[in-house]
Amino acid sequence: MGSGRDKRKKAKGKVPGHGEEKTARKTELNQTKAERRTAKKIEGGEDDLDALLKQFELKDKKAKEIVVLSNADPPSARLFASFTPVPGAKDRTNILMFGGEYYDGKKDKMHVYNDLFMYHPDKNTWTQIMSPHGPAPRSAHQAVVHKRYLYIFGGELTSANQEKFKHYRDLWRLNLDTYAWEQLPARGGPNARSGHRMAMHKDCIILFGGFHDNGNQTQYYNDLWVYNMEELSWRSVGRAGSNGPSPRGGCQLAVHADRLFLYGGHTVIVDKADKSELERVHDDLWALDLKTFEWERLKKSGMAPGKRASFGMVTHRDRALLFGGVTDRAGAGDKMYSELHNELYQLDLTSERWRPVAMKLAKAAKANTDTTAGSSAREAAPSSQTEVVGSSGQQTKAEPQPGVMRPDLAQYLAKGGLDKESAIYKAAARIQSRYRGYAVRKAYKTYKLGGDISELLYSPATYGIDLSHKDVPRPRARANPMMAVVGNTLWMLGGVVEVAHTDVTLDDLWSLDLSKLNGWRCVKENTEGEEAFVEEEGWETDEGDKEGEPGEGNGDSVDESDSEG
């Protein structure tokens, strides 16, 4: 009977609604049901991370092709995006930017991205690349380039109200020829994290540190991982232990020959008794032997930058270049005062010595500067007894004792043409020896040394860094700048400044010729005008000294800092 029914079916032909048509109808019905289930899941709102990811997946499925838009508008202002030099056509090198986040202070909302932009330094143009089926939105991830691929690991997604976090442990690579994404195996690799750091060494990715926040507690890491590009596999090299760097996030790495250098970073320590948080900022320098994977702590040599977090650092030839960052200082009561920096330092990776980067200005500009500095020095000559404001906020009489200046700093300033017997040298030495942190601002106002040399008071070494006239453009002090080196040019994009409890995200673009060192060049001004950096009237500290206004020199004092990533 069975064979008979089959014969009758064949004789009558296909029955409508059966076979391929039935299968297609079922597939369509199942897809509709799936979309309805997804629609219900995404109703959770902008603070529901699962809903946000479902929205992303739904939108991503609808995208079918890779779209490349030439001469696109620049990306919106953001932080913690990757900003990575990549080889292009005809021996040109471009800079690829992925992801990042932007905090809208007016609406008190966080936006996280997964868009992809290419900056072309030779043309000063941007290309937007819309490539589907790639990583979900994230910030504070890390990216490196090997051959014709960009590799991305980790990062975090933050809800709009900044109360929920999701950390990633996925590994992706982008084909730089086709712009197609591919997710790589991550089994047995590092756990989910952000704020970690990665560097390339031969055919391997070296990954160190970072942190993970589960909403109840934040754990910082000092583990070391190696990802082999040929085998596409992770290998744990263990934790640094007592003979290596302590757990931290936001440090910076530099590779030279078979050594990896690590500098700085920060750790947030929670007091178990009262649940208060204390940030510990590091200024230690370490070297890792990439053959034996043994750590060595290096002594501070030369003129090293002070403690700071959220700085940028890149390598150029045999040196690592460090710019910006933020330093938190204790103030009156429970207040914390933060000092932003716009100094540029370099670490010689061969001699392992630090020193500021000195600009070589045009003769006309230098002559103008010398004249102005001389005038400021005459105005600044301190009397035998001068009213100064101490850290307690009380006015006291300073005894006419000569300031104590570090020998290496004195030698450096003398090389810059500053006479040790000049009034400006003595005033700077006096202030450097007596004041720290935000109190320097008060000392600066008391001595009235003038805008040209105010950077001397925040970090005296900087007087040798930039002898330029005050009107010569230079980047605003900031935290979290994104930096990349293309050829002999340093490129720096964005960062953040906190003004009166509000984060102002920067999107200005700067370049510096590392061969000529003839000064910074502003390629793109901030979208936010200068009005964004003006303090609200009446906003003062407990001591009555208004803080947070843009500084005259290296440090912009602000009330609190953002030192993630």
Measured from the Cβ of residue 247, the count of other Cβ atoms closer than 10 Å reads 16
Model confidence band, residue 531 (pLDDT cutoffs 50, 70, 90): confident
| Range picked from 153-157, 187-191, 277-281 for highest mean pLDDT | 153-157
The residue assigned the tokens 């690829």 is 96
Three-state DSSP state, 217: coil
- Which tokens sit at 394? 């009380």
**Taking a C-beta distance cutoff of 8 angstroms, is the pair 289, 258 a contact?**
yes
Q: Are strands 319-323 and 125-130 parallel, antiparallel or unpaired?
A: unpaired
Q: Which of 119, 69, 79 is nearest to 99 (CA)?
A: 79
Mean pLDDT (whole number) for 252-256:
97
pLDDT (0 to 100) of residue 482: 98
Q: Is residue 78 scored above 90 in pLDDT?
A: yes
Kindly report, residue by residue over 194-218, the tens digit of the pLDDT.
999 999 999 999 999 999 998 788 8
Looking at residue 428, its pLDDT comes to 60
The pLDDT value given to residue 31: 67
Among the listed residues 562, 545, 553, 501, the one whose alpha carbon sits nearest the alpha carbon of residue 331: 545
Mean pLDDT, residues 181-186 taken together = 92
Q: 372 pairs with which residues across the strands? A: none
Q: Say if residue 547's pLDDT is above 50.
A: no
Q: Which residue did the predictor score with more confidence, 275 or 32?
A: 275
Q: For residue range 365-393, what is the model confidence (pLDDT) as tens digits?
A: 544 444 443 333 333 333 222 222 222 33
The pLDDT confidence band at residue 555, using thresholds 50, 70 and 90, is very low
* pLDDT at 4 (0 to 100): 41
- This prediction has a pTM of 0.74
Out of 205-209, 211-215, 228-232, 521-525, which region has the weakest mean confidence (pLDDT)? 211-215
What DSSP letter does each residue of 429-479 carry, written as one string?
Answer: HHHHHH--TTHHHHHHHHHT--GGGHHHHH-GGGGTT----TTS--PPPBB
pLDDT at 189: 95
Q: Mean of the per-residue pLDDT values for the chain? A: 76
In which band, very low, low, confident or very high, does the pLDDT at 270 lie, cut at 50, 70 and 90? confident
Q: Answer whether 425's CB lies under 8 Å from 414's CB.
A: no
pLDDT at 307: 85
User: In degrees to the nearest 10, what's the CA dihedral of 39, 40, 45, 51?
Assistant: -70
Distance CA 191, CA 81 (A): 20
Q: Of 364 and 553, which is predicted with more confidence?
A: 364
- Label residue 292 exposed, middle or buried (CB < 10 Å: 0-12, 13-18, 19+): exposed
- What confidence category does residue 98 fall into, taking pLDDT thresholds of 50, 70 and 90? very high
Determine the residue type at 379. Answer: E
Model confidence pLDDT, tens digit, residues 45-72: 677 888 888 888 888 888 889 999 999 9
CA distance 370 to 358: 16
Which of the two residues, 167 and 277, has the higher pLDDT score?
A: 167
Judge contact between 196 and 206, C-beta under 8 A: no
Supply the DSSP string of 89-119, one letter for each residue: GGG-EEEEEEEEEEEETTTTEEEEEEEEEEE
